[in-house]
Amino acid sequence: MSPTTLFAALLMLSAAAFYFGRQRAFAIAGKAGGTRHLHSRPTYYGLLTALWCGIPALLIFVLWLGFEDKIITNLVIADLPNAIRHLPENRLNLVVNDIKNLVTGNIVAAEVDATMQAGAAHYRSLQATSNAALAVVALSLGIVGAVGVRSRISRTLRARNLVEQVIKYILIACSCIAILTTIGIVLSVLYEALRFFKAIPITDFLFGLKWSPQMAIRADQVGSSGAFGAIPVFLGTLLISAIAMAVAVPVGLMSAIYLAEYANRRFRDVAKPLLEILAGIPTVVYGFFAAITVAPFIRNSGSVLGLEVSSESALAAGLVMGIMIIPFVSSLSDDVINAVPQALRDGAYSLGATRSEAIKQVVLPAALPGIVGSVLLAVSRAIGETMIVVMAAGLAANLTLNPFKTVTTVTVQIVTLLVGDQEFDSPKTLAAFALGLVLFIVTLFLNVIALKVVRKYREQYE
Amino acid sequence: MNKADLIRAEEKKTPKRTIDVVRAGLAKRYRAEGRFKLYGLGAIIISLLCLAILFISIVGKGYPAFQQTFIQLEVFFDPAVLGQENLSSANFPGLVKKTLRNMFPDVKGRSDKRALYQLVSTGAAFQLREMILKDPGLVGKTVSVWVPADDDVDMLMKGHFDRKMSESGGRLNNKQLAWIDELSRQGKIEKRFNTIFFTSGDSREPELAGIGGAASGTVLTLVVTLILSFPIGVAAAVYLEEFASKNRWTDLIEVNVNNLAAVPSIVFGLLGLGVFLNFFGLPRSAPLVGGLVLTLMTLPIIIIASRAALQSVPPSIREGALGVGASKMQMVMHHVLPLALPGMLTGTIIGMARALGETAPLLMIGMVAFIVDIPTGFTDPSTVLPVQIYLWADSPERAFVERTSAAIIVLLAFLIIMNAAAIILRKKFERRW
């Protein structure tokens, strides 16, 4: 039985269990003289039966599928001839991959020989056994659960309370997924990053001035460990983010001020959704726009002015990223400015301030913490933005602050290091996780501060 | 001494009144006021201008891709070629070439012939094969077939190539140009609606490449995302809003949810690579894994929106339900949740729209492979629409720029539909208590 059909079978079994549980409750109630003599409504008895039928079986199902592949792979490896088993780990992985490809019917990289055929056959038979065993275990568990609950159904069984208890646990489990996600991120990134720092000292990574991970593949290369200095990458990220913020903060802030203080209702109703559209456009579209339209435009206008502009200049990526961030700054600042109490404005007007003076000298200082928070959030978004820079910024890690030159960013490096062949034993691939760790920590730091500032500011005027 | 000087002398003598100082500065202050207002308006105009330029440049580049140049061939399905046992492996490219030679009998010489064959897409042979496999009765008959032209011919017909360039480094030579002119004189070359673009998978040949595979990958991925993220997100929001007592643990969950909403998407890709692929051994490039990663990404959005929807249900509803004897769970399930559902759905649609446009995390889990087949299952290797855009954007052919823009138009159209649905839903079910 394939996992999909088993899943469907389990669902159908639960539905049947619901029906039987409910019927049982009706039968008992009939003898006692009507459903009002039951502790709970009959539906709850049905639900209880269904839950006890479905949940244990589904848990087994998920866990089994989660670990099935690992166990089968290890069994297959254990059965391979000694000559293959004692290969170095990465060669062994290649063989295992080929066997798996053989099993799924994909194209196999190496020549298919008898041992691999045998391995694949072994894999297939183990998988069939495992699937059959899973089907037996899960279905019988479901039936046992359903029958067990059904036999315990009585007038006094507190079915509703039990069902509600189970549902509450499900709700708690769902809300804990957020925490699990964070833990998952930290563990997965940290684990590989620590392996990277075993090969490359952390100080070399954080303070080194030369970044060229591609060249470090060759073991005989002089100073191959020195090629993982991430300063040029960090500096490139900062440069592009700074250009983006130089576009987004003034434009976004002035838009927010105009929308909040000057615009009439009709203008606001039209302009605000249009600005939000900018936030809804996928970043890959911005990337395409930057690479195909903006970058050539900047290069051409640069050559007219006699400037030498690279075709993958930091300016193009930064400008387009700035456009993308405008709505973040403007909508957050708009909320913040609207939250400033009208009394403050009225006070300023009564002292004879013009509108702009009231805004500049009263409203903005009052809203400053919130604006700073929204700018920090925007900075975090700029640092973590990927597609625009992947498509419009370059790969060369130049240590420069010249916006017309090519620079690279943390996210670009992560993508280039991880797309394509991955070898989880070379610092080249692991470096991506180290960069990911830095990215996660920095953005986390910015987000926590920004959220705290914004929250504190909101409380101030509430 | 004239009058003005007198007044000035007067002013020097008497101390200045505040009102005079104010009046003197008034014009300047009003000018500053006007300037400030103008800056604000300018900022909005700049933003909207950027939006307009973006749309115009993409639509302008992309709309021709919805049409494709086709060439009419009079194909004689030669029984000598097709008379074998195995029809599907017959020499269909040879058939196309023979037909072309028959159309231009005076073409001699190998290089000229090769140039002639280049006018028609390599997909023509596949098209003929499919016709024959569908209807073997065609063997021995002459049929007039419209086959896709090569992408260079297509670009020429759409006016992207300068004809004068052709001899010096252009992609079509003068002879080919003459043949194309001859074809258009006979009415055997024309632009038609490009169905290939919507139905076929990826291809190295621009004229055969389509978004069909990517679109079906997107649908599969989003189905996984929706099935997982909507119930989990709603459940988490219900717990946090209705059941959780205010303590350290719920605070921790809240901080986590808010942070995850702002974590860069590529970090979720690293999570998917580290946990789902390396630890659990799930297949690479599969919509299942893509859906899982996007679920984790959209969950915070759905949770935050759902909590806001729950908060907007007035307490009187809850008290009324409790008052007639409902348990807390019944109160939530029977009364609060149905009232909050439109708001939750709106949040979910917006989350789905975000997931639809997401690219970076999917690059990490291998959904960037070149995949020709159209995926049909949750574990088939596949790609999604934004990744397809990214892949095509890297291709050097001029025709791919057009396809990329067209794919973007399709993507944006879907996004607009989804967001419009969210807005309509909100307008329709919005309730003021």
Does the beta-carbon distance from A283 to B357 stay under 8 Å?
Answer: yes
Q: Which of A254, A330, A379, A448 to mutate to test the interface with B (most CBs of B within 10 A)?
A: A254
Angle, helices A42-79 vs A89-104, to 10°: value is 120
B257: nearest Cα among B231, B237, B278: B237
Percent of chain B with pLDDT over 90: 38
Average pLDDT over residues B9-37: 82
pLDDT at B11: 60
C-alpha distances (whole Å) from B343 to each of A318, B167, B228, B303 are 36, 63, 18, 11
Q: Which of B267, B276, B403 to mutate to test the interface with A (most CBs of A within 10 A)?
A: B267
Q: What is the token pair recorded at A222?
A: 């002089």
pLDDT at A172: 92
Which of A67-71, B198-202, B289-293 has the lowest average pLDDT? A67-71
CA of B229, closest CA in chain A: separation in Å?
10
Which range among A418-427, B162-171, B364-373 has the greatest average pLDDT?
B364-373
**Kind of pairing between the strands at B142-148 and B189-193:** unpaired
Q: Which of A181, A269, A391 to mutate to test the interface with B (most CBs of B within 10 A)?
A: A181
Among all residues of chain B, which has the CA nearest to that of A389? B360
Fold of the CATH domain A224-461: MetI-like fold (1.10.3720)
Nearest residue, CB atoms, B265 vs list A160, A250, A386? A386
Cα(B415)–Cα(A337) distance, integer angstroms: 29
Q: What is the token pair recorded at B267?
A: 């970090």
Nearest residue, CB atoms, B360 vs list A170, A387, A443? A387
CA of B409, closest CA in chain A: separation in Å?
10
Nearest residue, CB atoms, B275 vs list A184, A275, A411? A184
Identify the three-state secondary structure at position A380.
Answer: helix
Phi, psi of B191, rounded to the nearest 5 degrees: -95, 135
Among all residues of chain A, which has the CA nearest to that of B303? A175
Amino acid at A341: P
Average pLDDT over residues B289-306: 94
CB B197 within 8 A of CB B68: yes
Does the beta-carbon distance from A354 to B408 stay under 8 Å?
Answer: no
Cα(B364)–Cα(A420) distance, integer angstroms: 9
For residue A230, the Cα-to-chain-centroid distance in whole angstroms is 24
DSSP letters spanning A271-326: HHHHHHHHHHS-HHHHHHHIIIIIHHHHHHHHHHTT----TT-HHHHHHHHHHHHH
Nearest residue, CB atoms, B36 vs list A174, A271, A356? A356
Cβ–Cβ pairs < 8 A, chains A and B: 265
Q: pLDDT per residue over B314-362, tens digit each?
A: 999 999 999 999 999 999 999 999 999 988 999 999 999 999 999 999 9
| pLDDT value at B40 more than 90 | yes
Does the beta-carbon distance from A433 to B270 stay under 8 Å?
Answer: yes
pLDDT at B35: 94
Does the beta-carbon distance from B264 to A280 stay under 8 Å?
Answer: no
Question: ∠B334-B336-B341 over CA atoms, to 5°?
Answer: 100
Q: pLDDT per residue over B85-104, tens digit each?
A: 667 677 888 888 888 888 88
Q: Which residue has the higher pLDDT, B50 or B13?
A: B50
Does the beta-carbon distance from B390 to A391 stay under 8 Å?
Answer: yes
Q: Does A355 touch chain B (CB under 8 A)?
A: yes
Query: Would you tell me which CATH number, out of the four given (1.10.3720.10, 3.20.20.100, 2.70.210.12, 3.40.50.2000), belongs to the domain B212-429?
Result: 1.10.3720.10
Listed by number, the residues of chain A in 89-148 with a beta carbon closer than 8 Å to a beta carbon of chain B are: none
Does the beta-carbon distance from A283 to B270 stay under 8 Å?
Answer: no
Most distant CA pair in chain B, distance: 120
Average pLDDT over residues B257-280: 89
Among all residues of chain B, which has the CA nearest to that of A278? B51
| Residue boundaries of the structural domains of chain A | 3-157, 224-461
Q: Which of B251, B359, B403 to mutate to test the interface with A (most CBs of A within 10 A)?
A: B359
Among all residues of chain A, which has the CA nearest to that of B301? A178
C-alpha distances (whole Å) from A255 to each of A276, A324, A355, B42 are 12, 14, 16, 8
Angle, helices A427-461 vs B248-260, to 10°: value is 110
pLDDT at A319: 94
Cα(B308)–Cα(B266) distance, integer angstroms: 27
Mean pLDDT estimate for chain B: 86
Query: What residues of chain A lie within 8 A of the CB of B233, using their CB?
Result: 174
pLDDT at B317: 93
Listed by number, the residues of chain A in 360-389 with a beta carbon closer than 8 Å to a beta carbon of chain B are: 360, 377, 380-381, 383-387
pLDDT at B7: 65
Query: What residues of chain B lie within 8 A of the CB of A384, using their CB?
Result: 263-267
CA of B312, closest CA in chain A: separation in Å?
18
Q: Does A274 touch chain B (CB under 8 A)?
A: yes
Q: Which of A43, A288, A409 to mutate to test the interface with B (most CBs of B within 10 A)?
A: A288
**Kind of pairing between the strands at B142-148 and B67-76:** antiparallel
Cα(B125)–Cα(B123) distance, integer angstroms: 5
Does the beta-carbon distance from B239 to A175 stay under 8 Å?
Answer: yes
H-helix segments, A200-230: 202-207
CA of B354, closest CA in chain A: separation in Å?
7
Does the beta-carbon distance from B363 to A418 stay under 8 Å?
Answer: yes
Q: Does A63 touch chain B (CB under 8 A)?
A: no
Q: What is the token pair recorded at A269?
A: 């109703």
Query: What residues of chain A lie within 8 A of the CB of B329, using their CB?
Result: 164, 167-168
Listed by number, the residues of chain A in 187-216 with a beta carbon closer than 8 Å to a beta carbon of chain B are: 187-189, 191-192
Nearest residue, CB atoms, B260 vs list A181, A250, A258? A181
| pLDDT value at B396 more than 80 | no
Does the beta-carbon distance from A170 to B258 stay under 8 Å?
Answer: no
Nearest residue, CB atoms, B357 vs list A282, A327, A436? A282
pLDDT at B172: 74
pLDDT at A286: 94
Q: pLDDT per residue over A151-181, tens digit each?
A: 888 888 888 999 999 999 999 999 999 889 9
Does the beta-carbon distance from B50 to A278 stay under 8 Å?
Answer: yes
Nearest residue, CB atoms, B47 vs list A167, A275, A381? A275
Q: Does A174 touch chain B (CB under 8 A)?
A: yes
Does the beta-carbon distance from B259 to A73 stay under 8 Å?
Answer: no
Amino acid at B118: Q
Query: What residues of chain A lie within 8 A of the CB of B50, using their CB?
Result: 278, 323, 326
pLDDT tens for chain A, 462 residues long, are 688 889 899 999 999 999 999 999 888 888 877 888 888 888 899 999 999 999 999 999 988 887 887 788 888 888 777 777 777 776 777 777 777 777 776 666 566 677 777 888 888 888 888 889 999 999 999 999 999 998 888 888 888 999 999 999 999 999 999 889 999 999 989 988 998 888 888 888 888 888 877 644 555 555 444 578 889 999 999 999 999 999 999 999 999 999 999 999 999 888 888 888 888 899 999 999 999 889 989 999 988 888 888 888 889 999 999 999 999 999 889 888 888 899 999 999 999 899 999 999 999 998 888 899 889 999 999 999 999 999 988 877 888 888 888 889 999 999 988 886 666 667 778 888 999 999 999 999 998 888 888 777 777 776
Does the beta-carbon distance from A178 to B236 stay under 8 Å?
Answer: yes
- Would you place residue B168 in the very low, low, confident or very high pLDDT band (cuts 50, 70, 90)? very low
